[in-house]
Amino acid sequence: MPARDVMTAYLSAARAKDWEAAFGLFADDLVIHIPGRSPFAGDHRGKQAAIDYISAIRERYGDAGIELDIVDMLAGEERFMLLVRERFQDDDGRTITIRRANVYRVAGGRIAEISIYEADQYVVDEELAAAVSGRCA
């Protein structure tokens, strides 16, 4: 499956909150590069590492508290990039807006690599630290 088709399927599943279908597009040996200094930061191998990262945020805010806007997207033969703006609203009504670029590499019809580039790494590190402490509480 070409990168454009994988991108379309991934976005469709994520927008429908069909995480089983979205995660089904991840290769088992997926590599995810997470920037910053949060507990998630670093290079991680395996589908579950990416699922854990995404699930930590979803657990903190719930699907209703997350709003995703696609600012732009690019697709090549084996890569696609999503320029996104995400808004997260917690139970106290506090809203955080994060801008980022996610670059995905596709191999064998699956997402084989994800590289994340944050516009404001400090805000993201703070939120991810809170997400991890919330999971442990």
* Complete DSSP assignment for 7-56: HHHHHHHHHTT-HHHHHTTEEEEEEEEE-SSSTT-EEEESHHHHHHHHHH
Orientation of helix 47-61 relative to helix 121-136, angle to 10°:
90
Q: For the segment 31-69, what is each residue's pLDDT rounded down to a tens digit?
A: 999 998 888 889 999 999 999 988 887 787 776 677 889
In the chain, what are the domain boundaries?
Answer: 3-136
**Residue for token digits 């469709």?**
12
Residue 29: the pLDDT is: 97
What is the identity of the amino acid at 33?
A: H
pLDDT tens-digit series, residues 69-105: 999 999 999 999 999 998 887 777 778 888 999 999 9
Q: What is the pTM of this model?
A: 0.84
What class has domain 3-136?
alpha beta
Residue-level length of the chain: 137
Alpha-carbon distance 102 to 80, whole Å? 8
Model confidence over 4-30: pLDDT tens digits? 999 999 999 988 889 999 999 999 999
